[in-house]
Each structure stands twice: as structure tokens, then as C-alpha cells.
Structure 1
Amino acid sequence: MVINFVLCTIYLSFTQPHSFHVTMTSSFSSGSSSSSSSSKPWIYDVFLSFRGEDTSKNFTDHLYFALKDAGINTFRDDNELRSGEAIQKSRISVILFSRNYANSRWCLEGLVKIMECWRSCRQLVFPIFYDVDPSDVRKQTGSFAEAFAGHEERFVLQTDKGKVATWRMALTEAANLSGWDLRNVADGHEAKFIKKIVGEISRELSSTYLFIAFYPVGINSRVQQLNFLLNAGSNEVCIVGICGMGGIGKTTIAKAMYYELFHSFDGKCFLANVREISQQQNGHVKLQEQLLFDILKTDKIKIGNVDRGMNMIKERLHSRKVLLILDDVDKLDQLQAIAGSRDWFGSGSKIIVTTRDKHVLTVLGADRVYMAREMNDIEALELFSWHAFRTSHPVEDYKVLSEQIVDYCGRLPLALEVIGSFLFGRSIVEWKSALEKLRRIPDDQIQKKLQISFDGLNDDTQKDLFLDISCFFVGMDKEYVLPILNGCDFFADIGLGVLTQRCLVSVNEKNKLIMHDLLRDMGREIVRAQSPNNPGRRSRLWIREEVADVLRRNMGTEATQGMAINLLKGNDMKVDLNVFCNLQNLRLLQLNHVKLAGGCEYLLRKLTWLCWHGFPLSFIPDGLYGENLVAIDMRHSNLRQVKNSKFLLKLKFLNLSHSHYLSRTPDFSRLPHLERLKLKDCRSLVEVHHSIGYLDRLVLVNLKDCKQLRRLPSSFWKSKSIEILYLSGCSKFDELPEDLGDLESLTILNAEDTAIRQVPSTIVRLKNLKDLSLCGCKGSTSATFPSRLRSWFLPRKILNPTNLLPPFHVTSLSLRDCNLSDDALPRDLGSLPTLTNLELDRNSFQSLQRSLILIYL
């Protein structure tokens, strides 16, 4: 049974902040609507609840003007009918409890509404106890007892008594919150008391309100996903990383998550620009001081040095439940200085780290990592439209252009915002010109943001590795590219690991190297900027027109390390091979379907990759052979023979597929480290050199559709390294020798559509064989399989003890279109223990054996 798993990608997006002001009122309308949804924008910073008769002309008046002077937009409203709406649209409620506060039914109704918003909308609530004991408010004693005695005397109906109970509960809840008591602050001096309150409110506003985004495009799913990873309701100290390439919205996600959660924590801190600040003098100390200041709400803390700061964080915060965001971290020492251990923080604390480098999260021991992805097509077009048109969709005449630009941006939020804003209000002609320019020269603002990751790479080998991939190898197989770049002394295995951890390169499910288009363009722009006006002085060339110009005019220099041009077959561009005399540092060369004139006498010693599809000559000039060559790819060549007078000790890949005139292979003794040989569709090939059997690293041989090939040299069948052998389409290949059983590493044998008449009995020795395909082998209608085939498919425990053979572990067996009849198959074929795929269609069966039927039950 085969089970296919479908992996679903969840696309998540962005939101915007709310705006804030302050309102002030002494009343509340009981007929106002219910508490607002958290998705509504805040209109006011502060709602001030007070008993007008007690304080409106003294303390409240002074507090109002102090808030206004502090830059908090204050709105004074004594209209009771508007207070319910004001409460809902305020971010903070300040309740001024005075002696006669509870005498006002409007104050109590307003208080109930405030506490509803506190519970449901994450509104902050701060009580002020003005000439009243907090316990009187909490327990409704003293003057509050007298007020409630009057209320209960007036209210005799059961519904009214329920309302009184609600008032009592609201008073108790509010009085239990952290606030200010005039008697215990500033020795009762009102002016100092008000200054203290304004300072605390201002600090709370500045630490709470984070600008998130100008235009929201569906933040909820992203926040929900991250909230799930945080396990926000648990008591564990949880560390979650948000990882992704630059410009993908990591900071936006973190801000939205902070805004979602901050109300549930004793202390909260959003440390922005950690990477940038840490590079300043005493940067780590500054970050530590900011953390303690934001959470402890005390005067500016002076630490002195990092070690002292680490101890102070642990001593002062170990019992506090905190929410800490560390934004844009790129080094482990930054994390160690600020959040070095979970026991530095109290139970239930949550730490979110945004980074481009997944490795720092691994070393830190993050509990979970959220990989930020680019937006989906619908979200990307909407975000772009908000910036380009100030609407949620493109203007009709601009729709096609908008889709093209969104495609160019690769659904990266940063690019959508920058380019959308740049194009706002411009004509279609300007849009087309801008898009054409962007395809050649990336936007500088986007380039600088993305290049931060490149600049942060550890050394030049990693930077060269990234530039080579971005210019030449995007979309190619990882196992093909890494040996080439290792041949350039770039330590590519560890280097690719670093690039992957830093979200600059990734490897897809097909093992291909992939890179976001804008990251690719960023790398290419770094190279272009090396010499904007003279391509011949750049380290890498990949633009067709520029490469052609350099070759035609012989403008190459020693600065050129890589060159690639991919022309269509039949192009008449001609190159004199002597142009390479000036390119002695050339490591990577691709000249697909470029024609030649003259010869090359100067050896390209540093060349590691030679890709020349459609190579026009019948032989390879000695000048193109270099001792550092790792891969030669000359598909569709005119080669008739491959003679090499030099040992190519580093060559691992040789691909001469579709070379229709090639009749014989090279002498492999001069290619001792060859690992992969591809000669697919070499229609004239009649002989494979006997030295192939002595290649002890050769793992793949592809001879598909070599229609003149009848057999392989006897030495080949002695190989201990061959894992994959393709013979399909070799219509004259008629024999698998008994030595087949000596290919002990063979895992895949594909011999479809050959003339093979007999499968040798020694195949039972191939204990690693997983995939066997003999489809279309019609060399014999009755003797395709040996008499002992029956024993291949039996587990070890069933075999005759006197003739033990290893069990046959084939998982895929293809016998389609082989002219097989009922008696051509072994009776116990269905007993194969590992078989998951069996193809028997287009044969001459009258019925299926019972053992075969059982396979499908």
C-alpha cells in the first residue's frame, strides 16, 4: 500500500496599529453598546472615570491638563451619553476613586463597562485612590458602605438588586488592580502625585503601542499559528523563534503577537533592532538596561558591564511573568546577554526571537520555530494595491501590470510595500519603465535590507558560495553543485548549511537549490556593482548580452571568475577560443550552443565547471582541460571522440548525453574519481572502454537509448560501487551476464525495452536492489526468468537451510509488456516481503495467481 502525504503551507499576513487619544468624562450612558471587538481601532489613549462633585475643579482638572501637557491628546467630555462609547474606544481607563464615587449611579455603571473592556478587550485599567482607603473600595466599607446602603434602600426589585451586586463585583475587581494611593506616594503632595501618574501612563503608552503596519492584510491566522506554538496559556517558560529571510515580515508578526499578549503579563518589553544596537559601544549593556527599565518601570538603570547585567536580569525578573520580544537577532552572544536561561524569568514567561539565522535558535534551545513565508498571491496583490492605489484591488487599467510587479516581488511584503509606494500616482508608461528597470537593477531600499544577511556572513568563502549560486546554480541539484563549489575551495558543505540557516538558500523536496527571486537579484546586484560600466571587470557574468559583448570584443580580465551564456540551438554566435587567454581565473564556464573559431592554447587551470551544450567540435581541445575540473557537461555535442592526455583527478561528473556522433567513450583510467557518467541517447555508441570497471567511486551509469550498444565490458560487472544502472531503450542490448550478481551496491536496475532474453540467477545476490524494471523485454516469451526465480521472493526463514540466500528486498518490480503468460511467473511472487509496486499490465495472462491477488487485499 502506498500512502501519499500532502503538505499544506499556511500563508499568514499583516495588520496595522491603532491610533490613540485621551478623553475625560464624569458620566456613563447605560444605554451604550457592548464592548468593542479588539479589531476596532482605539480612538483615545485614556478614559478618566471620576466623581465630578468631588474632584472636577481640583485634582481631576490638574490631572487633565498634566496629561495634555505631556503630549497625550486629551478630550474632556462631561456628557454622560457619550461616555459608554468613549470607554470602548480608549486604550487605558484611569479610575479616580474618591469618597463619594459610589454615590453616583453613572460612575458605577461606567465602572462596570470599564471592567468588561478590561476582561474582553485587553484594556489597561489603573485605579487612583484619592483620599480614600483602597480596602473601603474593595470591601465596600466606610463611605462606600453608606453609598450602597442608599442604593439598596432605593432598589427593591430583584433585577435592581442584581445590578447592585454587579457594581460591588466591579469595585472589588478594580480595587485589586495595581494603581496609586495618594497617601502612600510623594507624602501626599498632589503635584508630585500627578507627575508620577502622568509619567507612568506615558511610559505605559510608549512601551505598549507598537506601529505594526500601514495596511493590514489578515494578521489573524499568523498570530493564531504563533500563539499555538507559544502555548500562551501554559505556565512553562517558552522560547519561540520567528525565522525567515529579510523583508518577509518577521518583525510585523512579532509586533502583532506582542500586541495580542502583553496585557496578560506582569512585565513586557519589545527590544527592537537588537543586531544594530549590539554593534554600538556597550550595545549589550544598553539592551540589558532597556529590558530592566521597561519591565521594572523604575528610573533609568545603570549596569556597567554585561556580566553584571546578566546577574541583575536573573535577580530582578526570576519571579516575574514577562513577555519579551528580541527583534532582529543575528548573534548568539546577544541572546546570552539578554535571555541566557529560562530560569532568569518567572513561570509562564514567553520569549519571542526574530532572526534570519535559524542556527542561533538551535543553539539557544528554542522550543519551537515558526518559519515565516511569503504571502500568497491574493494577499500579495491586495497589499501591493493598498500601497499603489490606496485601495484593496488594482485599478482596472493597471491590473496586468500590477500582477507582473507582484510576480517580480515574489510575494515579499517589503518589496510590495516599497515598490507599491514608489509607483503610487504614476502613469502606466512610468510603471512599465520602472518594471523594466527593476528587472535589471533592483530597488536600492530593498537591496540594502536584503543585503544585511549577506554582509553578516562569516567569511569570503561563504559570500562567494552565495554569489556563485545566485548567478549560476539556482534550480540545480544540490549533489551536483556542491562538489563543483568544493572544487573552488569554498567548503561548500558547511557553507551551504550556513546559507540555509540564514534563510538565504534552501533545498526543496527534489533536492534542488532554490532562492527567493529577490535574494537572487540581490546577489547579482552585488556583483554588478563591482563594475557597473565595465562587465569585463566583474567577478561573474550571466546576462546574455553582456557575456556576448565580452566574448566578441575580448574584454575579459583576470577579475572574471564565472561566465554563463545560454543561447538557443542554432544561434550563429561565434567565439575564438583564444579569448580565454585573458580569463585565467575562470572557475565556472557555461557556453551553451556557442560556436567556435580558432583554438585555445592557454590552459584554464582553475576551471572546475565546464558546461557547453551543443559543443561544436568533434574533439575537446587540450586548453579546455584543467586539473581542477569537477564537472563536464557537453550534452548535444558534436563530439566523435573524447581523448584527454591529462589526468583529471577531480572530475566527478561527465555528461555527454545526446552526443549522436560519439561512438566510443574516453579512457576512464584518466578519470579515476568519476562518480556519475551520463551517456543518454548517444545513438552511435558501440563501445564502452574496459577501464570503466576500475572506477571504484562510480555510482551512476546512464546509457538510456544507446541503441547501438550491445553489451558492457566484463570489467564493469565486477564493480563494487555502482548503485544505479539505466539500460532502457538499448534495443540491441541482449544479455545480462552471470556476473550481474557481483554488483553488490546496485539499488536500481532499469532495463526496459531491451533485447534481454534471460535474467541471470545471480540476481538473487543483489541484496540492495530495490527497483527492478524489465518492461518491454520481449527477447523471449517463455524464458525471461530463471528457474530459481521462485526462491528470490521468499524470506530467509522459508529458504532451504542448505542453500541460504539473502532475502530479495525489491520494493518496485515492473514487468509491463513482456509477453508473459500465466506460467512465466513464479507461484510465490506475492510472497516478496517488501514489494509495494508491481506492474504486470500488457501481458498475456489468463488469470492471476492467488498469491498475487493477496497483495492487493
Structure 2
Amino acid sequence: MADQRHSSSTNSSCSGEDEKIITSSSPSSSTPRSKHGVFLSFHGKDTRMSFTDHLYIDLKRKGILVFRDNERLKRGKCISQELWQAIQESQYAIVIFSANYASSKWCLMELAEIVEWKKKMNLTIIPIFYHVDPSDVRNQRGTFAEAFTAHEKDPEVDIKEIDTWRDACREVGKIAGEHVHEDRYESTIIQKISGIIFYNYTRLNILIHDYQKLVGINSSVEEMMKKLHMESNDVRFLGIHGMGGVGKTTLAEIIYYRVSCQFEGSIFISCIREESRTRGLASLQKQLLSMIMQEELHIWDHHQGIMVIRTRLQNKKVLIVLDDVDSEKQLMALAANWKWFGPGSRVIITCRDSHLLITHGVNDVYKVELLQTTDALRLFSLSAFKQTHPLENYNELSMDFVNYAQGLPLALKVLGSFLLGRTIDAWKSARDQLEATPNKELMNILQISFDGLEESQQKLFLDVACFSQGRWPLDDNLTEIYPNIDIEVLVDKSLVSKSKYAGLIMHDLLKRMGWEIVRRECREEPGRRSRLFRAEDVCDVLKNDAGTDAIEGIDLDFFDHEAKHSFNINAKAFSKMRKLRFLQFGHLGFTKWCGNPLKYMPSDMLRVLHWLECPSKSWPSSFQPKNLTILSMPSSRFKRLWKGLMVLDNLKYLYLSGSWNLIETPDLSGAPKLEIIDFSYCTSLCKVHPSIKLLKGLQKLKMSGTRIKKLWKGLAVLNNLKYLNLRNSKNLIEIPDLTGTPNLEEIYIKGCISLCELHPSIKVLKRLKRLSLNHCECLTRLVNFPDIQGDMTSLKSFYFSKPPNLLSSFMSFPGLRDLELRDCKNISIFPSVICSLSSLEILRLYGWPRLEKFPDLSSLECLTRLEAYGTAITQVPSVNLIPRSIRSFKLEGRKRMPHKSRDFPIFINDCSLPKQSSYPTNHDIGSPIEYEMEEMLEVEALQINFGSVGKYTSDIIFADTVMINGWSLGSRIPEWVQNTSNGSSVKIELDGIMKGMDCAIFIVCDYHQFHSPEDQLYFGHIHGLRGFSNAGNRIIWINRASLRFQLQQK
């Protein structure tokens, strides 16, 4: 949703007795219907020259449009067209019940019309009981009873109409309004009523006007309405949270104006964070009480305010919105708990910190998300062009700014407003300038959250902003470097979010704010900043030996950098950086180092060291990084690491993969906390130090592609080890005793060509889930597998070559889901035991040259993926041999397939449905249609599977029935297809096609003939296509094989 106004200047709302008056009021998404703000209904002789006139004048003085009938209006049996229209065009109807009101048929007709229009259009009714008891109006007693008795005796009045009048009196009489009697000053009541009208009338009209500019808000409003549970009489606290500028205040305002009429009192207090600092909590308490109670109250300190709020509001149904809260102290002073307020009350709190909401005990929370690209473009356009789409020639530039804002409503509005009415050249200049100098207004608002952090949390924020650039290894291991509580605080304040695969994610604008904070430390001299992350700054400091003890972290990678850097660096450049905590070097181009950089690198505070292709050939004895948590030096030049014992008490991750010169692993006994070790493809590595058996916390061990013969001797008690990868270790002759690793879940021994047999201890691995034994040429038998039947029920994935005894092996794997069998050269009949694996989901058969008959797999009801390569199958399988659950099917035979195969299903884009009436269809899209092919193309290799569109040409072979994403195509073009073409190209008109927006294009092809194998559907032009259609997904029906796409914007 969009926050068109990032903060509200309004600090109050109608309250207490006032809000009893408001019966219904909700902003419309269309232009306001009202020509009049208020319609006055009254009995002329009772109040025209007194109360009504005074109220009329006061409303007019406040600039409110008021309709008041005059005595010259023609009176008849029916309400006049002028009055009827005036009621319909008003937002408020003030009904002044006086002693003789019901005696006037005219007044009662007005009242009935007002009630009827309230039901249709949510007209707000404010009743005023002018020297009459409200119960007399509701129950038609006193003068109202006398009046209705007279009407019933009048032969010209229809009894049904009288009943309508009675119902109208009862309904409006139930509304809590103002009671004018001898103990109250009329002037005070008039001021109160006009104040209510002025506030709500002006605010609502502003809201309705702005509502047209709010984008992507409807779903958020509806979700919040559900969370409010307005039907419940319980007191409920709700929280709205999200990053700064995302639209929390706007959402709260919409909700407030939609439901405030249902409460006895309501107030919207904005900018509490700021106001509590400048005015104090006592002032906010006074504001809350005064507006709800509609009386001037004096609060001397916030302790007194707490007592007064608890006492005065505990029996009143109130709606309180506390906007932009940032401390528990504020909440404790204004709305500590549910006991403070009467039944049915609602308290809505907006803040950037979700944890604050949780600790305060809110009933529910709602997180405001960033806008999707389409809504973001629309919001930006509303600010930049005053319309919902960009002007011609501004499309690409608009998308540049939309991509910059990354869905943040505040940024979209600020940037759009700044660019309004400017030339294309000015737009380009502003775009280029943003890269160097962020928008000051945006940065100031975003920095509010940063300023509220503790010092350690600010340090974490800046580290993530400057160093977490989507590159390994820091992104994966931040939780190990920083206290978890600091990470949780940043998550709670919506400054970062957690990703399962990418560590911590930060919005680009927040990153830019972090960069700017660091740059402000010293704009002229990068060497005096705490963090260096721009290539130009890092190179300047290192080449010129301009480092200082201010530097805490350096990040440099030329991989994505356009320039090919080549320069010399003196290794002593690190010597002055005594506070260095973080160093991440990726691809450094042709950089040459003079000396061993590790020799001069300060090590006392170093926590993270990642250096791709580190030039050091030896580990200097002076380099003792005792606080190191991550040591990552892939593709290094080391032959050996440190000699002897190295105390690394905090080291958890050791990565040296691809270090081709490394011949042995170091003594790791000084690193007892190691969790992950990676020596993958250290192709010279032949010796493993026995200290590896002492690493009690070790979880992953990767030794693939090494020259080791044995991993360790004897028993190693590694209870935490879950992952062991020895893949392609061609010299490995034995698997170690695994008795001490009972929690192993994954073992990869693929390509260990010297391995002859497995150690018997494999039978104790009852938690083993994945076992890969492919291409182990000497492994001719699976020792003890037949003897451990029932013990390997956890095994889910099994990959093996040349299995000697399929029957006995698979009896031990009842829970198997993924099975790969290679090089079964002597098997001509498919083993029926595989068909008994009821949980099997994936089956891959590679190299079965004697298998001629496709097996009956229909009993495998869970099978979704089937691949069979290198078989002797000559007949395309029948539909009844394939389970209905199949979603991906690849088949390759050694001989040519027949020209005609009438009932073979084609599987495209992970979806398959052969032509069979019992198969389900995609009802979300529509009804399926059948398509009959004339013939099947003759091919040697039949591959029938397509995933997401790639950048290479894909061959699609069609047969009897073609299914694309659940559609079975018919013999004619259906009416629902929007774009059709009989030529070799199709022109697609896309609303607001922009760079950076993903476009989903569905292609439905009508092929009646294949003239040659060259007639192929070409997807190359679709790859990387950027665009979007506001009209929804377009389906294109083509009757030629070669396609070109020409995109034209409306």
C-alpha cells in the first residue's frame, strides 16, 4: 500500500460525546458526491429563528456548506425534488428534534428520506434533542405520541407511511446525540457540534481526495478490518509495523475514518515519537482526555495522567490510534492495557518495531509490505504525472526511479513530486545524481530508525549495509558473527529481514542510507572512515597507504566492475588498520602484492577473513587471529596453513576449497568450535590431520575431489556431524568407522573409483536420509545392506551404479522418495521390487541398454518425475502405464521412435495430462479444450520436459495431446484468446511496459503440420523479456513454429 502522506499533522479527532453522534462515515474511492456538507432537518416554528439559525451561522463561518430549507419552499404531499436532492448531496444530516417536530408531516418525510439514504450511502446522522427526551422520540411518547395519533386520524395519510415515520424516529432516536436542556448552554453545544462537523468534514474530504491517489491499499485495509473484530465486545489492541515510509500512518488513517463512527469517543494522535520529546507525555495525555471527554482537563505529570485516563475511560467505548510510537514508556502512559477502556474499545498502534508491539501484548499485528512493481509505477506516476501511467517517452526513466525506490511508497512520492513537470534531461540528471547523493528528505526519515539503535546494533546495521552485498560467505554466517539479540532488533524494526538462503536482506534505500552515514564520517579522506566498500575508495587507500585505525572493514570485488584493474599494492598497507574486524576480497583482477599481506595484517580484532585467491604462499607465525569466526580462502596458494597449534577459540567456519597446492590439513585442535570444514577440490590434499576427530561440534565435512586414501583411523566420536561429502576422491580406499556419527543424514561418495566396500558401521546410521554411491567402480557389493532391513527407514534418496542385487537392497528402503540407478547393463526386465516403493517421487534410470519394455509404473501413485536414458525401448509407453501424479517425463530410446503414437502424452513446463476424461483440469484458468495432432515427429531422442524459459532454443515435439500449464489444447481457437495471429510474428500491446518488470507470456500453438525438424518453437527471444500487462496475462495463439516478439506500448 502507499503512504501518500508519511505523517499526519492532525493530533486529535472528535471524541467522547462527539463520536456518539457519528453513525457512519467511510471514505469513497470516487470523487465526493456532496455539494452540501450538512443538511438541517428541523421544525421551523420551534427552532428556525433561534437554535437552528445560530448553528447554521456557526457552520457557515467555518466554511461548511449547509442546506437549510426556507419558508418559501412549496410544501406538498411528497418531499420536493430540491430537498430530496439536497439530502442525497450531503455528507451529514443534523436532525433537530423539538416538541412539535413530529407534528409536521414534512419533517417526518424528511426524516424517512434521511434514514433511507443513510442505508444506501452511509449518510452520517447527528440527532439533537432540543428540550425533548430522547426516549420520547424512540418510543413516540409525549408530544410525539400526540402527533402520531393525529396523523393516524388524518384520512389523507397512508398508514404504511406512518409506520415508516415511526421506524425512522425509533432508529434515529437510538443514536447517541446532543441533548439540549435547561442545564446546558446552547452556545456551548453549538460550538461542540460545529467543531465535530468541521473536523470530520474537512478531514474526510481531504481523505477522500487523497484516497484516489492511494495505491495497493485495499487488501491491507480489508486485512486490518478482519483483525479488528468489530463484532466483538472485547477490548482489542492491534499493531501496525513496517519500515519507515511504507504506509503505516496512511493505513491507520483509513481504518480510523472507516470505523471511528462506531465508538463513543475516538482520537488519532500522530507523531508520538516526536511529540513526546518536544511536548512531553503529560501533554499527550491531556490531549487524549480533553478530546475524548470534550472538556478542558489539567494534567500536571504523566503519573497523574495515567490515573485520570484509567478512571475516566474505563466505562467508555473508545477508538485510540497512537501513531509512530517508539518506546514502551509512551504506551504505558497512553494505553497501558485493556483494563483502562470500556467494552468494545480498540487501540491501534503504529511503529517501526514489531517487538515493541509484542512486548506490549497486542492481540494481533499487521506488517505493511512494500509495493509490487505495478502499484509502485502507478503511485510514482500519480506524483510525477498526475495520472496513473507515465507520459510518452518517460517510460524507461520512470522505471529507473521505480527500481530505485524498490516499492517504498514514501520514496516513490518524494521522487515523483520532485520530478513533476521537469524535462527529460532534468530527469536523467536527477537519476544520475541519486547514485552519488541520496535524496536528503528520504534519508532523514529513514535514519530515524537508525538513530534509535544501540551502538552495537548500529554497528551491525552498517556492516550489513556496507558488506552484505549478496555475496558469500558473510551473508550466510551473520548470525554467527553478531549477537542474535542485535539481529532480532534490526528485524523487529524492519531494518533487515531474514532469508533462508541469503542471510540478512536489507532494502536498497536503507543500504544507501548506511553508505551515506559512513561517508559522512569523513567525506574527503576515505581512509578515515570506518568502512570501505566502494572499489575506488579501497584502491585509493591501499595504493597510497592511506589506511588509519578508523578502518574496521574492507570489501572489494572487481567481478562486476567494468574496469579491468591492474595495480601494485604494498603489503604494509594493512599495518595501520589496527581495528580491522572484517576483510572480504573477491576477484581482484590483476592486482600484484609486494610482500606477504598476512604478515602485516593486524589480527587482534579480525572476525571475518574472506580472500579469494589469496596470494600468500605461507602462513606467517605473526598472524594469529584469535577472534576469527570465519576463515575463507578459496583457491589460495597455500601448501600448508599454520604449523603446530593455532589457538582459534571462536573459529566456526573454515573454507579452503579449490586450494590446489594444499597438501595437508592443519592441526585443528585449537579450534574446538568448528562447525563447517570445506577442503573440496584441494586436488593435492593427501593427508588429514588426526585432530579432525576431536571437533565435537563439527556438522559438515566437505572433502570432495581430494587425494586422500583415508579420512581417519579408528573411531571418531562426532555426534553433531550431519553431512559428509567425499565425492570424486579417487584415491579413497575405505570409508571410516561411522559408529561415532549416529546423526549423519547425508553421505556422498560418488566417483570414488578406488572404494571397494562400505564399512559395516553404516548399519548404525538410522537417521541417514541421502546416500550417493554413483560411479564407484570397485564397489561391487553393498556389505550388510540385506542385514539391516528396517533400520534405514529414514533413507529418502539413494543413488547407485551397477547394483548387484536390487531385490535385497530395496527391501531395506521403504521410505525412499528419490532413486537413481545407473549402468544396469545386465537387466532386461524392470525389477518389480521398485514398483513396491510406494513413497517414490523421483525415478531416474541411466544406462539400461537391455531394457526394451517400458515398465508398468501406474502403482507408483506419488511419482512426479521420471527420467529414462540409454534404454532399448522402441515403443512409446501407453498412458495406462504412467501414474496420474507424473509432472515431468524424459525418455530416450536407442532406436528411432515410430512415426505415429496415438495415445502418448506430452509433458511441457512441469505439467502433464494425457487425453483422459478422468484427469483433473485447472479450473482456476477455465475449461480445457482437446487438440488432436495429425502425426508425431520422428526423432531419435525424445525429451519431453520444459521448465522455466531459458535462453537457448528448446525443441518441442507434439503428439496426440498437448498440455501446457494444465490446458489441453483444442482444435479451434477459443473465444477467450485475446491475441491471435496467422503470421510468423505477433505484436503484443502491454500497458506500461518497462525495464525491470517481469512479464508472463502464455504461448498456445496450433500446429496442424510439421514440415521439417527445423520448424521448432523458439524461446530465445522470450528469455529476459521485461514488461508487464495491467490487463492480466495474455494468451497468444500461433500457427507457425518460428516466433518473433515485437512489443509495442499503448
- Same fold flag (TM > 0.5): yes
**1:730 — aligned with what?**
729
SS of alignment partner, residue 422 of structure 1 = helix
**1:411 — aligned with what?**
407
Deviations 1:732-779 (A, max 9, x none): 434213x12222342321222322332222112224433322233332
Deviations 1:588-621 (A, max 9, x none): 1122233332224434122221111122343345
After the TM superposition, which residues 367-406 of structure 1 pair with which residues of structure 2 at under 5 Å, given as runs?
367-406=363-402
Give the one of 834, 844, 849 matched to 2:833.
849
Give the residue type in structure 1 aligned to 2:528. R
SS of alignment partner, residue 400 of structure 2 = helix
TM-score of the aligned structures, taking structure 2 as reference length: 0.71
Please say which of residues 114-123 and 227-236 is displaced more in the overlay: 114-123
1:760 counterpart = 2:759: yes
**2:1041 — aligned with what?**
none
Deviations 1:701-737 (A, max 9, x none): 112233x333323268454443321112323434213
SS of alignment partner, residue 754 of structure 1 = coil
**2:508 — aligned with what?**
517
1:820 counterpart = 2:803: yes
Partner Cα distance (2:2, 2:85) in 1: 30
CA separation of 1:419/1:623 partners in 2, compared to 1, >3 Å: closer, same or farther?
farther
Partner Cα distance (1:538, 1:339) in 2: 43
**1:505 — aligned with what?**
496
CA separation of 1:242/1:843 partners in 2, compared to 1, >3 Å: closer, same or farther?
farther
**2:293 — aligned with what?**
296
After the TM superposition, which residues 163-562 of structure 1 pair with which residues of structure 2 at under 5 Å, given as runs?
163-186=161-184, 191=187, 194-202=190-198, 211=207, 213=210, 215-280=213-278, 283-297=280-294, 299-457=295-453, 459-475=454-470, 480-482=476-478, 485-486=481-482, 492-510=483-501, 512-562=503-553
Give the one of 55, 66, 80 matched to 2:58.
66
Deviations 1:771-796 (A, max 9, x none): 32223333234x1x11x3234341xx
Partner Cα distance (2:717, 2:786) in 1: 25
In 1, are the aligned partners of 2:4 and 2:413 still within 8 Å (CA)? no
Please say which of residues 344-353 and 624-633 is displaced more in the overlay: 624-633
1:593 counterpart = 2:587: yes
**1:129 — aligned with what?**
129
CA separation of 1:86/1:764 partners in 2, compared to 1, >3 Å: closer, same or farther?
farther
Give the residue type in structure 1 aligned to 2:446. L
Please say which of residues 615-624 and 688-697 is displaced more in the overlay: 615-624
Give the residue type in structure 1 aligned to 2:514. G
**2:872 — aligned with what?**
none
Give the residue type in structure 2 aligned to 1:64. Y
Partner Cα distance (2:344, 2:141) in 1: 35
Residue 567 of structure 1 deviates from its aligned partner by: 1.4
**1:797 — aligned with what?**
none
Partner Cα distance (2:350, 2:26) in 1: 31
In 2, are the aligned partners of 1:536 and 1:550 still within 8 Å (CA)? yes
SS of alignment partner, residue 578 of structure 1 = helix
Report the count of equivalent residues: 798
Partner Cα distance (1:191, 1:627) in 2: 79
In 2, are the aligned partners of 1:603 and 1:623 still within 8 Å (CA)? no
Deviations 1:268-292 (A, max 9, x none): 12122222222235x2222222222
1:810 counterpart = 2:804: no
**1:693 — aligned with what?**
693
Partner Cα distance (1:664, 1:338) in 2: 66
Partner Cα distance (1:400, 1:86) in 2: 48
**2:890 — aligned with what?**
none
Unpaired stretches in structure 1, ≥5 consecutive residues: 1-11, 18-34, 487-491, 795-806
CA separation of 1:84/1:520 partners in 2, compared to 1, >3 Å: closer, same or farther?
farther
Residue 666 of structure 1 deviates from its aligned partner by: 2.7
Partner Cα distance (1:60, 1:699) in 2: 82
Give the residue type in structure 2 aligned to 1:583. M
CA separation of 1:542/1:89 partners in 2, compared to 1, >3 Å: closer, same or farther?
farther
Give the residue type in structure 1 aligned to 2:389. H
Give the residue type in structure 1 aligned to 2:708. L
Partner Cα distance (1:227, 1:150) in 2: 46
SS of alignment partner, residue 176 of structure 2 = coil
In 2, are the aligned partners of 1:51 and 1:104 still within 8 Å (CA)? yes
Deviations 1:531-560 (A, max 9, x none): 122211111010111111121222221111
SS of alignment partner, residue 446 of structure 2 = helix
Residue 497 of structure 1 deviates from its aligned partner by: 1.6
CA RMSD of aligned residues (A): 3.1
In 1, are the aligned partners of 2:629 and 2:652 still within 8 Å (CA)? yes
CA separation of 1:194/1:252 partners in 2, compared to 1, >3 Å: closer, same or farther?
closer
In 1, are the aligned partners of 2:613 and 2:637 still within 8 Å (CA)? yes
Partner Cα distance (1:118, 1:310) in 2: 39
Partner Cα distance (1:722, 1:190) in 2: 83
**1:802 — aligned with what?**
none
Residue 52 of structure 1 deviates from its aligned partner by: 4.5
1:573 counterpart = 2:574: no
SS of alignment partner, residue 93 of structure 1 = strand
In 2, are the aligned partners of 1:36 and 1:89 still within 8 Å (CA)? no
Partner Cα distance (1:663, 1:154) in 2: 114
Partner Cα distance (1:440, 1:83) in 2: 62
CA separation of 1:820/1:155 partners in 2, compared to 1, >3 Å: closer, same or farther?
farther
TM-score of the aligned structures, taking structure 1 as reference length: 0.86
Please say which of residues 192-201 and 412-421 is displaced more in the overlay: 192-201
Please say which of residues 411-420 and 687-696 is displaced more in the overlay: 687-696
Q: Percent identity?
A: 37
In 2, are the aligned partners of 1:210 and 1:259 still within 8 Å (CA)? no
Residue 193 of structure 1 deviates from its aligned partner by: 5.1
Partner Cα distance (1:677, 1:625) in 2: 19
Deviations 1:622-646 (A, max 9, x none): 5655332222212233333323575
Give the residue type in structure 2 aligned to 1:849. V
**1:23 — aligned with what?**
none
Partner Cα distance (1:185, 1:219) in 2: 47
CA separation of 1:380/1:639 partners in 2, compared to 1, >3 Å: closer, same or farther?
same
SS of alignment partner, residue 725 of structure 1 = strand
In 2, are the aligned partners of 1:815 and 1:839 still within 8 Å (CA)? yes
In 1, are the aligned partners of 2:734 and 2:759 still within 8 Å (CA)? no
Give the residue type in structure 2 aligned to 1:521. R
Partner Cα distance (1:793, 1:558) in 2: 63
Give the residue type in structure 2 aligned to 1:461. S
Please say which of residues 677-686 and 495-504 is displaced more in the overlay: 677-686
Partner Cα distance (2:485, 2:129) in 1: 63
In 2, are the aligned partners of 1:15 and 1:219 still within 8 Å (CA)? no
**1:803 — aligned with what?**
none
Unpaired stretches in structure 2, ≥5 consecutive residues: 9-24, 74-79, 840-859, 862-1050
In 2, are the aligned partners of 1:748 and 1:769 still within 8 Å (CA)? yes
CA separation of 1:614/1:709 partners in 2, compared to 1, >3 Å: closer, same or farther?
same
Residue 81 of structure 1 deviates from its aligned partner by: 3.2
CA separation of 1:499/1:200 partners in 2, compared to 1, >3 Å: closer, same or farther?
closer
CA separation of 1:853/1:296 partners in 2, compared to 1, >3 Å: closer, same or farther?
same
- Bigger proportion of residues as helix: 1
